[in-house]
Amino acid sequence: MGGREVGGLANTLAAHMEYDTPGARERLARFWGTDRLPEAPGLKAVDLFEAVHRGDIKVLWIMGTNPAVSLPDSARVCEALAGCPTVIVSDCMANTDTTAFADIMLPAAGWGEKDGTVTNSERCISRQRSFLSLPTEVWPDWRILTSVACELGYAKAFQYQNPADIFREHAALSALACRASNGRQVFDIEALGQLTEARYNQLEPIQWPITLDEAGVVTGTPRLFSDGRFATDDGRARLVPIPAGLPRQIVTSRYPLVVNTGRIRDQWHTMTRTALVSRLLTHRQEPFVEIHPDDALRFGVCEEALCQLTGPGPEAFIGRARITSDQRPGEVFIPIHWSGRFASQSVATNLIAAVTDPISGQPESKHGVASLRRLACRWQARLMRRSASDELPGLAGLCDYWCRQPLTHSDSWWLAGSQTMDWESEASIWLAGEPQLIMADSAQGRFRAARVVDGRLEAVLLVDSDVGLLPDLAWLDECFAADRLSPDQRQCLLAGRSVDTEEIGALVCSCFQVGDRQIVSAIREGQATLEALGQTLKCGTNCGSCVPEIRGLLLDELTETEQ
Ligand SMILES: Nc1nc2c(c(=O)[nH]1)N[C@H]1C(S)=C(S)[C@@H](COP(=O)(O)OP(=O)(O)OC[C@H]3O[C@@H](n4cnc5c(=O)[nH]c(N)nc54)[C@H](O)[C@@H]3O)O[C@H]1N2
Ligand SMILES: Nc1nc2c(c(=O)[nH]1)N[C@H]1C(S)=C(S)[C@@H](COP(=O)(O)OP(=O)(O)OC[C@H]3O[C@@H](n4cnc5c(=O)[nH]c(N)nc54)[C@H](O)[C@@H]3O)O[C@H]1N2
Ligand SMILES: [Mo]
């Protein structure tokens, strides 16, 4: 929405005007008083990175996106970034897969630190007010852009002092576009073009198009086309017939599975911000592969096993198997969220080819092909350290798989490997110091070591052939909170089981931290409706995004009882 309205896409002009709208370019050039407006559309995202790869683009400024993870054929995007002479990245996070390629970093303000408006897809413009002060050296994006423009000699065109100045220009541009469109353009916020700073600050959410009456009252439009007229010359809708094309990549005996990609409830895109909220990583702790039971059987993969998807591209995807008949046979589903910051090899776009729609430029992001195999590992482990560093220095090479999970009191890694390890002699490397507590049971493939300094837990390593047997993660993290480990805690760390924690099971309700085991036992005790569960456990009563999962548990339990 924002991209189209402000002209933030290289292939459109501002305010919904297109390069092929007659007279639009000239009108815009006059409005801005420039003779340097590009003559033709610029490159769309996938083509842009191809041009960078070819060396046609020498300076690239990336703002508010993480293309190393989100664009198809991630390995090629990374190659392009590595080869580009000057990469500038403005982001609100210091360490992302894309900032890793930056020659110049411009620290940007994040959502709660800045001030402006946002527009939702139902055309609703809302004021967004900052509730955190700006950290030192951090600027909002508009100020970064403005000051770079001024340094480049365009100070006259970039005189904005605050977001309200920019908003008024944005409104004036919508008027320009409307007048040129003979009533076809619906995006019209001219009525907001004269807002004073004070009225801008008090702006209530409002949906465009917006009208202004004689008394100065502005009115939005909750519903479009209610007069039966569409935004075309004759008011009639245009249905555009399109020939549907098959996906470019098709399954073969070598790559027999279709790969579908998408989102999960508790993460946002490339996780740069949501992964830092430890509670949000309790719902799905690791990258995963959803597989139909028939396919699991066919490819020899069991529940919770680590498995690897390999496509025609150079990089694979590793995730933990989730076997479910919700998944269509012949197809697997993987999440788009994990990046190189959080897992060794779990970037979904590595399985996606850079094939795009000729008109929109939209890549075939929901369709890849791959083969599936169980990852052969000799050991699996969980490593937890108090340190705030997000690196696994020198150790990543010993693992076939790692996945990081920042927690409240520690950083936790899931690890797996196929090399034979001498845990007793190597524990100190993993723990970054000599362990004080050790338990080894090589017959069971089990090893435990903990480093304790002045009674306080600094690091713990738990190796097992079955990670399902490891103690509850929340319990382990709590051990790092204690100033002094209790005798019980010491004992249980070595035994590898938690004490006195109610096993809540897999987290269902993030708002109130309610797990599936708790919900199932409440159902069995007779709380057999969503409302009853909400009253006893509070689950599903805040944001509501776990309601479908609660319904699923109710359905499973109640149908089982009937049988
Ligand atoms: N295979 C596959 N690929 C997909 C998709 C899919 O379904 N499957 N979905 C596609 C879709 S729909 C989308 S929208 C994209 C999302 O892909 P991206 O937009 O690349 O993903 P984000 O993680 O949202 O990246 C936003 C970046 O901006 C930073 N950031 C956040 N706020 C600010 C700010 O105010 N200023 C600045 N300068 N930086 C900020 C964040 O830290 C982060 O690094 O992924 C696309 N890719
Ligand atoms: N929690 C969370 N919410 C988000 C986001 C997030 O990252 N996290 N991102 C936001 C953004 S930018 C976007 S664009 C939206 C995306 O929102 P959605 O598009 O709703 O989300 P996805 O999970 O990417 O994909 C939805 C479903 O499309 C199905 N699908 C894939 N291919 C096909 C097909 O060919 N036909 C049909 N019929 N279905 C298919 C997949 O199985 C998947 O279940 O979500 C927004 N909301
Ligand atoms: Mo999106």
Tens digits of residue pLDDT in 492-532: 888 766 554 556 777 788 878 888 888 999 999 999 999 99
296 Cα to the center of ligand 2, angstroms: 24
User: Which pLDDT value is given to residue 25?
Assistant: 92
The whole-number average pLDDT for the span 279-304 is 94
pLDDT confidence of residue 233: 86
322 found inside a domain: no
Q: Where are the alpha helices (DSSP H) in 373-508?
A: 423-431, 473-481, 487-495
**461 and 514 inside one domain:** no
Q: What local confidence, expressed as pLDDT, does residue 493 receive?
A: 84
- Domain match, 30 and 166 both: yes
Average pLDDT over residues 229-247: 90
In angstroms, the CA 107 to CA 225 distance is 43
pLDDT band at residue 278 using 50, 70 and 90 as cut-offs: confident
Q: Is residue 196 part of a domain?
A: yes
- The answer as to whether 442 is a domain residue is yes
**What average pLDDT does the segment 475-499 reach?**
83
Highest mean pLDDT among 10-14, 133-137, 558-562: 133-137
- Does 37 map to a domain? yes
Is 308 domain-assigned? no
In this prediction, residues 86-110 reach a mean pLDDT of: 97
Mean pLDDT lowest among 114-128, 167-181, 491-505 = 491-505
Distance 263 CA to ligand 2 centre (A): 6
Q: Which of 4, 90, 91, 99 to mutate to test the pocket of ligand 1 (most atoms within 8 A of CB)?
A: 91
Q: Is 465 within a domain?
A: yes
Distance 462 CA to ligand 2 centre (A): 36
Same domain, 17 and 162: yes
Mutating to test ligand 2, I would choose from 65, 326, 366 the residue with most ligand atoms within 8 A of its C-beta, which is 366
Chosen domain end from 219, 241, 256: 219
If one counts the domains in the chain, the total is: 3
Is residue 401 very low, low, confident or very high in pLDDT (cuts 50, 70, 90)? very high
Judged against a pLDDT cut of 90, whether residue 160 lies above it is answered with yes
Residue 10 sits in a domain whose CATH number is 3.40.50.740
CA angle (336, 118, 123) in 5-degree steps: 95
Task: Indicate whether residue 263 lines ligand 2 (CB < 6 A).
Answer: yes
Segment 537-541 shows an average pLDDT of: 91
| Segment 198-210 mean pLDDT | 95
pLDDT band at 475 (very low <50, low <70, confident <90, very high): confident
| Average of per-residue pLDDT across 365-371 | 97
> Residue of the nearest CA to atom 4 in ligand 2?
268
Tell me the three state secondary structure of residue 438: strand
Q: What is the pLDDT of residue 393?
A: 65
Residue 469 reports pLDDT greater than 80: no
User: Of 195, 219, 243, which marks where a domain is finished?
Assistant: 219
Q: Which atom of ligand 1 is nearest to the CA of 366?
A: 8
Q: Which residues contact 534 (CB under 8 A, 6 or more apart)?
A: 540, 541
Atom of ligand 1 nearest to the CA of 96: 44
Q: Verify whether ligand 2 is closer than 6 Å to residue 279 (CB atom).
A: no
Looking at the structure, do residues 33 and 169 belong to the same domain, yes or no? yes
Residues 551 and 531 in one domain: yes
Nearest alpha-carbon partner for 405 in 513, 268, 285, 269: 285
Same structural domain, 188 and 208: yes
Residue 260: other Cβ atoms inside 10 A: 17
Statement to judge: residues 13 and 135 lie in one domain: yes
Residues 30, 137, single domain; the answer is yes
Same-domain pairing of 393 and 540: no
Domain that holds residue 170: 2-42+108-219
> Is the dihedral angle over the CA atoms 300, 301, 303, 305 positive or is it negative?
positive
Residue that terminates a domain, selected from 193, 219, 245: 219
Cα(64) to centroid of ligand 1, in Å?
7
Residue 271 backbone class (left: φ over 0; alpha: ψ -120 to 50; beta: rest): left
Residue 548 CA, ligand 2 centroid: distance in Å: 16
56 in a structural domain: no
How many residues does the structure list for the chain? Answer: 563
Q: Are residues 148 and 8 in the same domain?
A: yes
Q: Whose CA is nearest to atom 35 of ligand 2?
A: 366
Residues 427 and 455 reside in one and the same domain: yes
CATH code of 511's domain: 1.10.10.1100
In a domain? residue 215 = yes
Protein residue with least CA distance to atom 44, ligand 2 = 262
For the whole model, what pTM was predicted?
A: 0.90
Atom of ligand 2 nearest to the CA of 266: 1
The reply to whether 31 and 166 lie within a common domain is: yes
